[in-house]
Amino acid sequence: MLSGWNALGYARSQMGISLAFHIVFAAAGVALPALMVSADIRHRWTRDPEYLLLSKQLAKGTSILFAVGAVSGTVLSFELGLLWPQFMGRFGESIGLPFALEGFAFFTEAIFLGIYLYGRGKVSPGLHLASGVAVAVSGAASAFFVTLVSAFMNGPGGTDPLAAMWSPSWPYQVVHVLLSCYQATAWAMVAIHGFILLRDPTRTLHRKALALALPMACLTALVQPLSGDRSAKHITVAQPLKLAALEAHLHTEPRAPLHVGGVPDLETGEFHGALAIPGGLSFLAHGDFDATVTGLDAFPRADWPPVIAVRTAFQIMVGAGSAMALGALAVIAAAVRRRRMPDGRRWLWAFVILGPLGFVSLEAGWLVTEWGRQPWIVRGLLRTEDAVTSFPYKAAPFWLFTIVYLFLGAAVVYLLAKQIIRADRPHEPSAGAHGA
């Protein structure tokens, strides 16, 4: 993955850990408000006090994740300037507009989250609900604008602000990223409440929370593969080297096979222990089993990304996504047959197992995007090694921020677990009914 623990290695590792940490909170910040609003709406429809309590707990969880996401996002903004001065100096004007709009969305989310948290009973019910919707919309908008920057770095269509903002790959990458946020968060919520129900099936609040998150989890799990297919077909045309790296496809050839699993040998182009589907890669890339797929041999070796790492991350992403999609189909089939949500112990265990795969797929997909762009920080325009700072002492900030992230991660787990335990107490629903 890295060219040793040199200056570039430390800079890339620090940026990678920061992004891997931040993306979890960013994704939850997009999806959790939507679930919060859904619980609020169900309370207004049913007057069930448990839905009111659930919306309050989700709001508290949103505020915790929002706070940590704000901290880690601020660190990232500093790291862009401190670790990659050549990138910011050359392309700062190009990416300034989407970053400015992301900042506007961030502050909008903060304002309306405050109204939602502290305005219950102090503003009109309609305004209170509208503030929750504003939190959900602005969270999605924030992710939208940040993803535009990533799309520019992966496939720049020009360097003036408007051309940079609307690069050719933005529709595919934005849709894929937003779906992954809702998918990962919903499946995590399904797993958490499924685990609690395994311990005590009588906890009706957690059964309602499961019923709230499961439709979002299933829907996104089924739509995401379609989005991924569209992205892959775009990459085939716009970034053929990246596609070749995703599949470790060494030689340009017609009727290219699709290899599932296994370990590639980059010197011979052979796969060890893989399931080969004749013409499969040609069909996925071009919709034609006999189409020619460009291989790594069509490009200089110096321009290759870390192929083994990219393909491994891609296989993990596809494997996790496929498991969630199959799980979603099984849930829907069972729900149609039984005319109710499946919630027996076997199903709950399945939810617990599938739950973490959303964030596994999200992190793996991010690695595919970032590793697949290497050795460029802006594909075709600026190499990563040419953008890194000349500051020699990078080990100290790397280890410092790693420790800080570990501390923040532990604090978040503790605070969220505390909120879930509070919701699990028998007396809480009645307290929620009185607005406590």
> How confident is the model at residue 190, as a pLDDT?
94
The H or E element spanning position 26 is helix 7-46
> How confident is the model at residue 426, as a pLDDT?
46
Q: Count the domains in the chain.
A: 1
- 40 in a domain, yes or no? no
- 194 in a domain, yes or no? no
> How confident is the model at residue 433, as a pLDDT?
36
> How confident is the model at residue 38, as a pLDDT?
93
> Distance between CA 315 and CA 360 in Å, rounded?
11
The domain in which residue 276 lies consists of 211-390
Is the pTM higher than 0.85? The answer reads: yes
- 431 in a domain, yes or no? no
- 186 in a domain, yes or no? no
- 191 in a domain, yes or no? no
- pLDDT one-digit tens code per residue, 88-138: 888 988 898 999 999 899 999 999 999 998 888 888 889 999 999 999 999
Residue entry with tokens 């049913």? 46
Instruction: Evaluate whether 12 touches 80 at the Cβ level (below 8 Å).
Output: no
- 147 in a domain, yes or no? no
Q: Which residues contact 45 (CB under 8 A, 6 or more apart)?
A: none
Report residues of the chain scoring pLDDT below 50.
Answer: 1-4, 426-436
> How confident is the model at residue 425, as a pLDDT?
56
The H or E element spanning position 271 is strand 271-272
- 346 in a domain, yes or no? yes
> How confident is the model at residue 2, as a pLDDT?
39
Tell me if the bond preceding 98 is cis, omega within 30° of 0: no
- 172 in a domain, yes or no? no
- pLDDT one-digit tens code per residue, 366-401: 999 999 999 999 998 999 999 888 776 667 778 887
> Distance between CA 244 and CA 250 in Å, rounded?
7
